[in-house]
Structure formats: structure tokens, C-alpha cells
Amino acid sequence: MISLRYHVVSVAAVFLALAVGVVLGSTAISGRLLSGLTDDNSALGRELAASQEERNALDARLAGADRFAGAVGPLAVAGRLTDRTVVLVTTADADPDDRDALAELLRSAGAVVTGEVQLTEAFADPDKADQLLNVVARMQPAGTQLPTAADPGTRAGALLGAVLLTGEGGKPQAGEAEAAAALGALAGAGFVKQGQAVRPAQLAVVLTGGAVDGDSAGDRAAVVARFATQLDRSGGGAVLAGGTGSADGTGAVGVVRADTAATSVLSTVDNLDTAAGRVVAVLALREQLDGQAGRYGVAGNAAGVAPGAVG
């Protein structure tokens, strides 16, 4: 007769056998799974290394191309702006190195840089719009007319256009005292910083940074875009040039390119932070003298890399 103890021992043996089987089975599965994951990780590591090597090669090629553009740039623009005058207008986020390199290239093209005016962060601040409009209205030079547009970028562009750019026959649009008073008022209100002895010029280049981040990014970019467009209309021509990202929707170049009326008069360059882009900016300024405008650079909304190379 089978005793109770025998049943207990038998059941315990069955459960022990099951437990051992589960442990052994899971160990085998885990080993195969771990081996597979190790193989996948090794493959991904090789792909990452190959991608990094490819990226390094592309970066080296781009750096070489930029060095080449920097070396031949003065030759490419030589004589394009002989005896022309150019004023530089920079935004708060414009790179000083890009400004200095462009100014040197303009001189290589034969141009005379008459000075620089820097727009401060307050200039494009939506919270300061009414204050800027008030200063502009008060400092309008005699004999000039502000546009009917009510936005601060356009109206400030008209005021600074009258102050910084020459009119027909190369004559200043505002008297010397009026120009000094307007710039002084804008500087006193914290909207601009002016260099010494800024003189009116035939042409203007507005230099800005890349994409605009943070609160009210679109509004701030729009102020700069409308300012540059009106500045173009106020003189012999202008170019708005920005760095990488400036052609995005939150960049001033991108805002201009989304406006067909603006792109019909104002030239834009979206790669000012490269030697090639600075060469293109000078060529675009030359094109402005011929009454033409274009969208140049490497962004998807550019019409071509340079004047004469559309498509």
C-alpha cells in the first residue's frame, strides 16, 4: 500500500524536475538571446563607425572648399563694386567675424565701407514696438515721407534708409544734423549702436545670425525682414545675409523668402557663415545695382547658389 509520505515525495520530485527544466531552458534561451544582441550591437557599432568616418570625410571636404573660397574670393569679386559705397547694418546676433570678413571682401571688390550701425535686441522686441514707432515718428527728416505701413520694421527701415542711404545723384537724403539727431535718438532709446562717423552710402548689407529661437521668434524675425526690405526700397539696393538656419521659418531670411513682394526687390543669402556665402553676398550686391534680386545659398528655399547659377 502506497503511503501518504510516498505521495508527498513524488509530487515534490515532479515539481523539482519542472523547476530544473525551466532553469536549464531559460539559461539556453538567454544565452542565444544574449548572443544575438551582442551580434546586433557589433553590427550597429560598425555602422556607426562607418557613418562617422563618412561624416569626417565630408567635413574635411567642406573645410577644404571653404578655404579655397576664402583664397579665391578676393579675385572673384575684384572690381565688382569699384567706387561704390556700402553701409553695414548688423543685428544683435550677427557674428562679428562674419562682419569683418565681409567688410574686407567688400574692400577687395573696390567698395568703400562708410560705417556700421548695429540693431540691438530691443529693436526687434515686440514689447518695444510702440516706443520704436514713437522715436521714428519724431525723428523723421524734413522732406522725407514714412510709408503707410504701421509695423515698426518697415517704418524704422524708412527712417534709417533716409539717414544711411543716398538718394538720386548720390546725394544724402537727410541733412547731417538731422541724420545725427535720428541716430542719436535711436541710440539713446536703446534701439541701435552706431560706429563712429557713419556716412550715407549707395548700398546696404544687413547682416543677421541664424535661426531665431525663444519667445516671439517669428515676430522678431519679421521686424528684421521688413526693416531690410524697406531699407532696400530707400536706396540703391540692399542684401539681407544670414548664417546657417537664417532661411528657416524663424529666421529673417526665411521670412523674406516667404513674401513674394519682398523677394522681388531684396536679395537674400543664407550661408554668410562660410567664405563662399560672403562672396555670394558681394555678387548679390553688385546684382542689386543692376535692378535685380535673388535668393542665394544652400537652403531649400534658395533659387541658386549664386547669381548666374540659378537652379
Split at pLDDT 50, 70, 90, the class of 27 is low
Indicate whether 88 belongs to any domain.
yes
Clarify whether residues 3 and 123 are in a common domain: no
Q: What is the pLDDT of residue 90?
A: 97
Over residues 57-61, mean pLDDT: 50
Which domain range does residue 66 map to?
1-77
**CB burial string 216-251: b at 16+ within 10 A, e below:** ebebbbbbbbbbbbbbbbbbbbbbbbbbbbbbbebb
Helix locations, the chain, DSSP H:
4-77, 96-108, 129-138, 152-164, 176-188, 217-234, 252-257, 260-263, 275-289
Among 50, 77, 104, which residue terminates a domain?
Answer: 77
Indicate whether 307 belongs to any domain.
no
Gap between the Cα atoms of 158 and 146, Å rounded: 6
**CB burial string 193-204: b at 16+ within 10 A, e below:** ebeeebebbbbb
Mean pLDDT for the chain overall: 85
Clarify whether residues 143 and 157 are in a common domain: yes
Q: What is the pLDDT of residue 63?
A: 56
Q: What is the pLDDT of residue 45?
A: 78
Over residues 91-103, mean pLDDT: 96
**pLDDT surpasses 70 at 56:** no
Clarify whether residues 183 and 71 are in a common domain: no
Indicate whether 97 belongs to any domain.
yes
Gap between the Cα atoms of 226 and 96, Å rounded: 22
Clarify whether residues 106 and 173 are in a common domain: yes
**pLDDT surpasses 90 at 115:** yes
Q: In the chain, what percentage of residues exceed pLDDT 90?
A: 65
Q: Which residues pair with 213 in a beta bridge?
A: none
Over residues 22-45, mean pLDDT: 65
CB 294, CB 310: distance < 8 Å: yes
Clarify whether residues 73 and 173 are in a common domain: no
Q: What is the pLDDT of residue 44?
A: 72
Clarify whether residues 239 and 279 are in a common domain: yes
Gap between the Cα atoms of 299 and 297, Å rounded: 6
CB 223, CB 152: distance < 8 Å: yes
Tens of pLDDT, residue by residue over 240-286, are 999 999 999 889 999 999 999 999 999 999 999 999 999 999 999 99
Question: Comparing C-alpha atoms, which of 212, 193, 7 is closest to residue 118?
Answer: 193
For residues 119 and 44, the model is more confident at: 119
For residues 158 and 54, the model is more confident at: 158
Tens of pLDDT, residue by residue over 181-240, are 999 999 999 999 987 789 999 999 999 998 877 778 999 999 999 999 999 999 999 999
The contacts found for 97-105 with CB under 8 angstroms, 24 or more apart, are 98/207, 98/243, 98/272, 98/273, 98/278, 99/207, 101/275, 101/278, 102/205, 102/207, 102/241, 102/272, 102/278, 102/281, 102/282, 105/73, 105/74, 105/77, 105/278, 105/279, 105/281, 105/282
**pLDDT surpasses 60 at 148:** yes
Q: What is the pLDDT of residue 69?
A: 58
**Nearby residues of 200 by Cβ (< 8 Å), 6 or more positions away:** 85, 87, 114, 163, 164, 165, 166, 172, 173, 174, 179
For residues 195 and 4, the model is more confident at: 195
Of the ranges 10-19, 97-106, 182-191, which one carries the lowest mean pLDDT score? 10-19
Q: What are the two backbone dihedrals, phi and then psi, of residue 216, each rounded to the nearest 5 degrees? A: 60, 30
Among 45, 77, 109, which residue terminates a domain?
Answer: 77
Indicate whether 305 belongs to any domain.
no
Among 42, 61, 77, which residue terminates a domain?
Answer: 77
Clarify whether residues 70 and 85 are in a common domain: no
Q: What is the pLDDT of residue 70?
A: 60
